[in-house]
């Protein structure tokens, strides 16, 4: 016990952010001085925090899980639309297997543009032929949703080499939209600089232009509309309904575009559960032919779970996220349930992070939360493996220090020691 306690004190004092309370979405702040793990507690230095309580310095209409204001803020002029369940990917994705991943980034690194075009064309044609193949195209584009800065020049070279093919523009849109979300960061609008908002807007403008270029070259790209809806949700200036209608004309059974639109109806973004339920009701007529659409029901329970989180009713939140999972596996439901579990059981939290990462191997926030949870539970090697994986996904120590309020020098030291 003494050795474990010593590790926890060292790990937390040096590695976990000074304000850490398990990064749910944006804010990682808390105020107390204890770390509670199951039935045990260790007293930490004053700069460490209590995982069992959450910060009270949050806007009135936000969930405990750290989501931003539910309405536009005067400071940003935009809806604070960057919570991970929408900023990183669709809320409810089917389980991603090794066979579903195309492994396209190595081809991009080798500048094998013809091979890239051929593989993506094949998957898109398969989707055009059978709407049930949508998830394969979603998984393909997910590979390009990275924050690795080295990828941009390669995508630019691809687009320059193949100006009449939709593939490089759609993939670059996927990349730039993700870069835009991380350029803005996950803090509240009041804690985000004007420069961060400007950087997000600049990257979103480029991504939107790429979506529209891809649609000019191939008007049947449902995923281009999905990205436009996702990015358009960050501002009140974009009418998302015409984008939804156009996408559903192409594929009335699209889960991807419905999930993006449904996310904009959530209470935390100025919508309501009633609006979400009405939208889900409209999709029910398509469920018989495409049962995968049932997963939209799960998002209603995720939204209710966020309310329970906000009231610190963690057992109820866990029950609601579990109910959401009965409608289909969701990386967000697993991740959120893990965040609720960490108030009571690190082992259950880690198990849920494992499942979220299995579904989305590039889910940075899940890796970071698992890194911290593993450290708190005494698994140094596992914690460092997660930290290294985050850097492989393109986040530097400086990026992590900014996004997760961590100590940059300590992160650099750990990365230099543990990561190749």
For residues 80 and 259, which has the higher predicted lDDT (pLDDT)?
Answer: 259
Q: Which two tokens stand for residue 335?
A: 């991740």
Highest mean pLDDT among 48-57, 143-152, 157-166, 395-404: 157-166
User: At 35, which helix (H) or strand (E)?
Assistant: strand 34-37
19 and 49 in contact (C-beta within 8 Å)? yes
- Residues 39-70: pLDDT tens digits? 222 222 233 333 322 222 222 222 333 322 22
| CA–CA distance, 44 with 130 (Å, rounded to integer) | 56
Predicted local confidence at residue 11, as pLDDT:
46
For residue 375, being part of any structural domain is answered with no
Would 391 be classed as within a structural domain? no
Query: Looking at residues 133-146, what average pLDDT do you find?
Result: 93
User: Which letter does DSSP use for residue 285 in this model?
Assistant: G
The 3-state DSSP class for residue 220 equals: coil
Instruction: Inform me whether the pLDDT recorded for 241 exceeds 90.
Output: yes
pLDDT range class, residue 394, cuts 50, 70, 90: confident
3-state class of 37 per DSSP? Answer: strand
In a domain, 366, yes or no: no
Contact assessment for residue 225 and residue 240, using Cβ atoms and an 8 Å cutoff: no
- Site of tokens 């940075």: 364
Query: What mean pLDDT comes out for the span 307-322?
Result: 94
- State the pLDDT at residue 283: 94
Quick check: is 67 in a domain? Answer: yes
Spatial separation of the C-alpha atoms in residues 369 and 342, rounded to whole Å: 10
Q: pLDDT at position 193, please?
A: 86
Q: Is residue 90 part of a domain?
A: yes
In this predicted model, what pLDDT tens digit does every residue of 268-278 receive, in sequence order?
A: 778 899 999 99
Tally of domains in the chain: 1
Kindly state the percentage of the chain with pLDDT values over 70: 75
From CA 353, how far away is CA 332, in angstroms rounded?
10
In three-state secondary structure terms, 57 is coil
Flag whether 308 is in a domain.
no
Q: Could you tell me where the beta strands, DSSP code E, fall in 300-420?
A: none
Q: State the pLDDT confidence band at 71, using cuts at 50, 70 and 90.
A: very low
Q: Look over the chain and give the mean of its residue pLDDT values, rounded to a whole number.
A: 78
- Three-class secondary structure of residue 184 per DSSP: helix
Domain assignment present for 322: no
| DSSP at 149 | T
Query: How many other CB atoms sit within 10 Å of the CB of residue 60?
Result: 6
Question: Which domain does 86 fall in, by range?
Answer: 59-272
Q: CA 8 → CA 5, 11, 30, 151, 160, distances in Å?
A: 5, 5, 18, 37, 51
**pTM confidence score:** 0.75
Give the range among 83-87, 203-207, 349-353, 401-405 with minimum mean pLDDT. 83-87
Q: Is residue 248 part of a domain?
A: yes
Helix axes 150-161, 166-184, angle to 10 degrees: 150
Token duo for residue 281: 């009701």
Better-scored residue on pLDDT, 353 or 412: 353
d(C-alpha 148, C-alpha 15), whole Å: 23
């Amino acid at each position: 016990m003494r050795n474990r306690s010593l590790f926890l004190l060292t790990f937390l004092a040096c590695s976990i952010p000074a304000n850490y309370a398990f990064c749910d979405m944006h804010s990682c702040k808390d105020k107390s001085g204890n770390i509670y793990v199951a039935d045990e507690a260790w007293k930490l230095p004053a700069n460490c925090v209590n995982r069992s309580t959450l910060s009270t310095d949050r806007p009135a209409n936000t969930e405990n899980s750290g989501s931003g204001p539910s309405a536009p803020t005067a400071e940003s002029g935009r809806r604070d639309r960057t919570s991970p369940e929408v900023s990183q990917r669709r809320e409810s994705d089917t389980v991603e297997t090794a066979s579903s991943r195309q492994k396209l980034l190595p081809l991009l690194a080798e500048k094998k543009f013809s091979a890239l075009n051929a593989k993506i064309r094949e998957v898109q044609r398969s989707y055009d032929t059978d709407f049930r193949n949508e998830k394969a195209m979603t998984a393909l584009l997910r590979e390009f949703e990275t924050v690795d800065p080295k990828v941009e020049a390669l995508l630019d070279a691809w687009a320059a080499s193949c100006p009449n093919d939709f593939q490089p523009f759609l993939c670059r849109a996927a990349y730039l939209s993700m870069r835009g979300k991380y350029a803005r960061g996950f803090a509240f609008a009041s804690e985000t600089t004007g420069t961060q908002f400007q950087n997000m807007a600049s990257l979103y403008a480029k991504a939107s232009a790429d979506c529209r270029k891809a649609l000019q070259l191939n008007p049947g790209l449902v995923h281009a509309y999905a990205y436009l809806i996702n990015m358009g949700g960050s501002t009140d200036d974009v009418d998302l309904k015409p984008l939804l209608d156009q996408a559903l004309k192409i594929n009335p059974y699209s889960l991807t575009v419905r999930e993006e639109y449904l996310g904009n109806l959530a209470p935390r973004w100025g919508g309501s559960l009633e609006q979400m339920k009405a939208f889900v009701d409209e999709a029910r007529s398509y469920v018989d032919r495409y049962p995968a659409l049932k997963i939209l029901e799960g998002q209603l329970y995720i939204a209710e779970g966020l309310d329970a989180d906000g009231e610190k009713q963690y057992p109820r939140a866990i029950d609601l996220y579990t109910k959401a999972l009965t409608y289909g596996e969701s990386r967000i439901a697993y991740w959120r349930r893990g965040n609720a579990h960490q108030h009571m059981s690190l082992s259950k939290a880690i198990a849920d992070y494992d499942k979220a990462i299995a579904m989305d191997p590039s889910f940075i926030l899940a890796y970071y939360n698992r890194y911290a949870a593993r450290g708190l539970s005494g698994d140094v090697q596992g914690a460092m493996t997660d930290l290294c994986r985050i850097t492989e996904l393109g986040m530097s120590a400086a990026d992590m220090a900014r996004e997760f309020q961590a100590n940059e020098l300590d992160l650099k030291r750990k990365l230099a020691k543990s990561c190749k």
